Structure 1
Amino acid sequence: MESESQDTCSFYRLYSVALPSMVHGPRATQDTAQEHKTISLSLCAQPPLDVYHRLSHLAAASLARAHHIKNPKLTPAAVTTTSTPLSPHSYGGYSITLKFGTPPQTMPFVMDTGSSFVWFPCTHNYVCKDCDFSTGQSEDRRSIPTFIPKLSSTARIVGCLNPKCGWIHNPDTRARCSDCALNSSNCTQICPPYLILYGSGSTGGLALLDTLDLNEKKVPEFLVGCSLFSSRQPAGIAGFGRGETAVPSQLGLSKFSYCLVSHKFDDTQMSSSLNLTGNSISGEKLAGIRYTRLLKNPQVQAKEQFSVYYYLGLKNIMVGRKRVKIPRPYLSPADSATGDGGAIVDSGTTFTYMGREVFEPVAREIETQARGYKRAKEVEALTGLRPCFNVSGLKMVSLPSLRFKFKGGAVMVFPLENYFSIAGKAEAVCLTVVTDPPGREEPNGPKVILGNFQQQNFYVEYDLKKNRFGFRPQKCA
């Protein structure tokens, strides 16, 4: 009984009832009558010791990630359907394992649809600062698996004249290969090192070509980064965004999909699957999936990263039965000149981000519809989340529903545990959406970033061949 009580008090333990997880087409009118969702609160004997710290960490990491997405900085073959386990972690991301080299070396990667480069910690001399999230130590090489190039007979450093070097750096050979003679075809200069800055960390190293072993098929000369140093990176990153260096492009995928298990299973053996579908087959057709078109990416000078994101046509945001009034330019497709506005989906962001122009009216409407509960300002200060509501002593709490309506009619209805989290000894619940502090807004970039916390227990599909984004509610574990 004690273990059951402790499980009930786990970090993300929320229960929702009464409302289906999706509305589409004619059903929307029927379902919108149910404007609130109810959660059961089970009081714990002891609150989780680090619950405020974890919420604060995830909120800060989500906001840092959003700032990077809005202001990115980067310094200079088809397969059949296959799948790999996809696991949740307390640092806020989901990881997969891939095998590189001959013989293959198995490496963990954070699965990231908001970037396009693939890299792993590399060599015995790999150094990572503030990367051991489990022990809190600033540096621990032993806890981070590293790829050893000399143990792979197929690994080789990318030459400067190799066209794949141009995927990372300037495509102009003369600009990036200054030591090569003009029109030379026999230059020994290697591809310049890369340095990548993420929202809360960085990595740098040299580009390699090696074999990616997918069990069903081996993919030779896959471009991958051999990172020699990093900061605040729990593992390598497998970029699944748009772009030549990304996994979908290098594998010639027509589609990839995943189902994210709840974060309450963080750092456990629980996992779901990331499915990769090649161009030669259409893949399994699943019932109940709602689709919206993937929009054209803005092409902004000095913001090339904007071309990597998956932009969605977010039409409206509904709180309860009310459509929140948000100026159209913020939700409409991004401005082609500045990249300002629009919505993207990003598996690497934990809590959904909204620019202040979007967040404030959404938060106000939630507060209005939850006016029976007092704001928990002290919890907001501890977690960096708002609004938080005081629910001390209550066994049941009713909160307004949250929906994203997309162009084409698809509606994503979020389960309550996907946008509210219990804080402390069940004395408060907090909205798990972040925004910029006053005066620190990024001027351009997406106004809405749909994070992985809100994608929990949804089947999500990126249909690259038909250029559409699909989803349906589904228990992933």
Structure 2
Amino acid sequence: MILLPLTHSLSKTQFNTTHHLLKSTTTHSTSRFHHHYKNHHQLSLPLSPGTDYTLSFNFGPYSQPITLYMDTGSDLVWFPCTPFNCILCEFKPNPSPSSSSPPTNISHSTPISCNSKPCSTAHNSISSSDLCTMAHCPLDSIETKDCGSFHCPPFYYAYGDGSLIASLYYDTLSLSSLKFRNFTFGCAHTTFSEPTGVAGFGRGLLSLPAQLASHSPQLGNRFSYCLVSHSFRHERVRKPSPLILGRYEDEKQSNGDEVVEFVYTSMLDNPKHSYFYCVGLKGISIGKKKIPAPEILRRVNKRGDGGVVVDSGTTFTMLPAGFYDSVVAEFDRRVGRVNRRASEIEMKTGLSPCYYLDAAATVEVPGVTLRFVGVNSSVVLPRKNYFYEFLDGGDGVRRKERVGCLMLMNGGDEFEVSGGGPGAILGNYQQQGFEVEYDLEKKRVGFARRKCASLWDRLNRDKN
């Protein structure tokens, strides 16, 4: 087992108001979800400050420190390399411990050859012959498969609001006590609106877990994280969230005052977007009312449409419009009959429905349960994972009022006509306070309620 700390970018990001933070977060979640339908090889959206998690490790023979966003929705590890030029990055925050730290020096790294499997994978499975032609390998060498000294051509990598051009190299990656030699990564000398790299944890061949599995199967074939509950409060993310590579003895057993039992649902294979962690959703319960999910959320079809992507890089859970409306209608029937709708807050935050709450009384909010496909595969969400309460006003113009908003979002019906993409996304806000396990060997995703800060303390203590 390898234990690594995940740092929530909220701890290094300042927002002027709660409205600003929530609007930024909802906008990012919507953009990332809708970008899954664009016809790019790489469908992940760059992660945004205040909503996501960063991972640090050492790289190369001189152990250069690198901080990247951790993302289960993409399958490539890339970072800025010197010399580095980022176009339109003046107002983009950098999550590195020192924002003035220079990009990585790769002078000792080895370029990947044009006839290698990683090169073909990065270029969306273009043949080695075509790639070596692009690398100017002579025809006789292409025919004799003797192009090993010719480097993999640079590749273009597009996001929703940015892009980059990268080249493939390999070098030593240091994860805690493990030194992983010949690790493949993308080196970007030029990016557009992308100052920070990404550690892809998806199911693709170039992701960090996939490469780790080829080096050490017991470490790479299963990983989990436990996101510390924060409710957008800085003081709650002082401790890191544990990222655990490999197995440890804690499954289905009592740990002090905490009983650990995972609820599992099977991964669904996606023929078009193979790196997604897709699962099936049967429905959502609001209190005791079961609301069935549309068929497209229960499975993935041959075109790659459907399923629910479990994603560390999207903040809020996104649901298709018709299903979302049914969930909200039942929620509003229970909450809206005793609390006034806060339409102005909905406009400012991008969340809906929101309500003005009684300042003194305990507000009754129905429970929310995610019913995944499988036997006994339901996950009961803690209230703070789906209903966010905060104070609005107190600015000298309006008195402070207590407000509460549902933290699920309308993803629209674009997936029904776009010709490809997930039906919904399970965001990281709804994953707080759970250990989420990705078991690549048994092809399943598991959820267990945990005290994540305590889990970090215990595992870190046991490691030392």
Q: TM-score surpassing 0.5?
A: yes
Correspondence for 2:165 among 171, 182, 204:
204
Query: What's the counterpart of residue 199 of structure 2?
Result: 238
Give the 3-state SS of the residue equivalent to 2:32 in structure 1. helix
Query: What's the counterpart of residue 465 of structure 1?
Result: 441
Check conservation: 2:316, 2:427, Cα contact below 8 A. Answer: yes
Show the 5 A alignment for 1:172-183: 172-178=127-133, 179-180=136-137, 181=139, 182-183=142-143
Correspondence for 2:312 among 341, 347, 350:
347
Amino acid at match of 2:268: K
- Distance apart, 1:201 and its partner CA: 3.2
Correspondence for 2:322 among 332, 335, 357:
357
1:385 equivalent to 2:357? Answer no
TM-score, length basis structure 1:
0.78
- Distance apart, 1:220 and its partner CA: 1.3
Give the 3-state SS of the residue equivalent to 1:205 in structure 2. strand
Measured in 1, the distance between the counterparts of 2:42 and 2:241 equals 34
CA RMSD, aligned part only?
A: 2.8
Residue range with higher mean Cα deviation, 67-76 or 232-241 = 67-76
Give the 3-state SS of the residue equivalent to 2:69 in structure 1. strand
Check conservation: 2:305, 2:415, Cα contact below 8 A. Answer: no
- Distance apart, 1:171 and its partner CA: 4.3
1:52 equivalent to 2:19? Answer yes
Residues 133, 177 of structure 1: alpha-carbon distance in 2 compared, 3 angstrom cutoff: same
- Distance apart, 1:417 and its partner CA: 1.3
Show the 5 A alignment for 1:133-152: 133-134=92-93, 143=100, 145-150=102-107
- Distance apart, 1:214 and its partner CA: 2.2
Measured in 2, the distance between the counterparts of 1:419 and 1:219 equals 39
1:398 equivalent to 2:382? Answer no
Measured in 1, the distance between the counterparts of 2:300 and 2:169 equals 34
Measured in 1, the distance between the counterparts of 2:417 and 2:341 equals 28
Question: Gaps spanning 5+ residues in structure 1: where?
Answer: 1-10, 13-47, 77-87, 301-305
Residues 315, 131 of structure 1: alpha-carbon distance in 2 compared, 3 angstrom cutoff: farther
Structure 1 outlier segments of 4+, above 6 Å: 438-442
Point out which structure has higher relative CO (alpha carbons under 8 A, 6+ apart): 1
Show the 5 A alignment for 1:9-48: none
- Distance apart, 1:323 and its partner CA: 0.4
Amino acid at match of 1:475: K
Query: What's the counterpart of residue 368 of structure 1?
Result: 333
Residues 116, 420 of structure 1: alpha-carbon distance in 2 compared, 3 angstrom cutoff: same
Question: Gaps spanning 5+ residues in structure 2: where?
Answer: 1-9, 214-219, 253-259, 393-400, 454-464
Amino acid at match of 1:321: K
1:422 equivalent to 2:422? Answer no
Measured in 2, the distance between the counterparts of 1:445 and 1:323 equals 26
- Distance apart, 1:446 and its partner CA: 1.7
Query: What's the counterpart of residue 64 of structure 1?
Result: 31
Measured in 2, the distance between the counterparts of 1:418 and 1:232 equals 31
Give the 3-state SS of the residue equivalent to 2:244 in structure 1. strand
Give the 3-state SS of the residue equivalent to 1:449 in structure 2. strand
Query: What's the counterpart of residue 161 of structure 1?
Result: 115
Deviations 1:126-172 (A, max 9, x none): 42534754599xxxx9546521112xx3x122221233211211341
Deviations 1:407-440 (A, max 9, x none): 2212211111111223442532111222235879
Check conservation: 1:257, 1:459, Cα contact below 8 A. Answer: yes
Aligned residues between the structures: 403
Give the 3-state SS of the residue equivalent to 1:98 in structure 2. strand
Residue range with higher mean Cα deviation, 165-174 or 229-238 = 229-238
- Distance apart, 1:53 and its partner CA: 1.2
TM-score, length basis structure 2:
0.80
Residue range with higher mean Cα deviation, 90-99 or 416-425 = 416-425
Correspondence for 2:411 among 428, 433, 436:
436
Identity of aligned residues (%): 33
Give the 3-state SS of the residue equivalent to 2:431 in structure 1. coil
Residues 142, 319 of structure 1: alpha-carbon distance in 2 compared, 3 angstrom cutoff: closer
Residue range with higher mean Cα deviation, 102-111 or 318-327 = 318-327
Query: What's the counterpart of residue 300 of structure 2?
Result: 334
Residues 266, 70 of structure 1: alpha-carbon distance in 2 compared, 3 angstrom cutoff: farther
1:262 equivalent to 2:229? Answer yes
Query: What's the counterpart of residue 278 of structure 2?
Result: 311
Check conservation: 1:294, 1:310, Cα contact below 8 A. Answer: no
Give the 3-state SS of the residue equivalent to 1:360 in structure 2. helix
- Distance apart, 1:274 and its partner CA: 0.6
Residues 382, 191 of structure 1: alpha-carbon distance in 2 compared, 3 angstrom cutoff: same
Deviations 1:350-391 (A, max 9, x none): 111111122111111111111211211111111111111122
